[in-house]
Amino acid sequence: MAQLFFKYGAMNSGKTIEILKVAHNYEEQNKPVVLMTSGIDTRDGVGVVSSRIGLKREAIPIFEDTDVFEVIQKMDHKPYCVLIDEAQFLKKKHVIEFTRIVDELNIPVMAFGLKNDFRNELFEGSKYLLLYADKIEEMKTICWFCHKKAMMNLHYIDGKPVYEGDQVQIGGNEAYYPVCRKHYFHPLMITEGE
């Protein structure tokens, strides 16, 4: 029976590598998958799933008005799995559409993303994935400053922590550190090139 999975983690926890690995494993067995990602993340172009270690792959971009259920339902060949990257940026309606893909089309959906933003608030997509997913898994990484588990994302500009601003601010290692709770509230000095 198909299920909706949500795999979340702080920045640098390997979410994108995992999604690319899952896609590869299915396709190596001649089981086609559909890879999708938020249309908001344009760091490497619209509709590109890209990892920090240099692996990347084309994907179907999801915009605010995209009906992901309809996209999958209209495909000529039923995929074995639907894989979603940057799921935190999606809307509640997209998450409901994922549940329909699972429940009505009997296709597993695996969504990967951040749980909380740099202000330590839930993203809309993550909130509804936490509510509707059949299985939830945390992908772990360690704090940039110590050996503890990173569970928050510290945003910084010019070496200074930033705790306010628009929720969606696209960036990678140049703008965010994965941190534990202690170092989220009391970060060590961040210097250029660190």
Does 86 participate in catalysis according to the annotation?
yes
Q: Is residue 176 annotated as involved in ligand binding?
A: yes
Residue 102, token pair as written in the block: 């699972």
Q: Would you say 12 is a known binding-site residue? A: yes
**14: annotated binding-site residue?**
yes
Q: Give CA–CA dist 95/111, Å, rounded.
A: 9
Q: Quick one: angle between helices 124-132 and 92-105, nearest 10?
A: 30
Residue 116 three-state SS: strand
- Tell me the DSSP string of 18-64: HHHHHHHHHHHTT--EEEEEETT--BTBTTEEE-TTS-EEE-EEE-T
For residue 4, what is the enclosing H or E element? strand 4-8
111 is in an annotated binding site: no
Task: Answer yes or no: is 47 a known binding residue.
Answer: no
Q: Say if residue 146 carries a ligand binding annotation.
A: yes
16 is in an annotated binding site: yes
Give me the catalytic one of 28, 58, 64, 86: 86
168 assigned binding-site residue: yes
The reply, when asked if residue 87 is annotated as ligand binding, is yes
170 is in an annotated binding site: yes
Q: Which of 135, 177, 170, 164 is nearest to 10 (CA)?
A: 177
How far apart, in whole angstroms, are the C-alpha atoms of residue 98 and residue 108? 9
What CA–CA distances, in Å, run from 103 to 43, 47, 143, 153, 168?
A: 33, 26, 38, 33, 30
Residue 42 is labelled as binding a ligand? no
Binding residues for ATP: 9-16, 85-88
Task: Kindly list the catalytic residues.
Answer: 86
Binding residues for substrate: 168-171, 176
Binding residues for Zn(2+): 143, 146, 180, 183
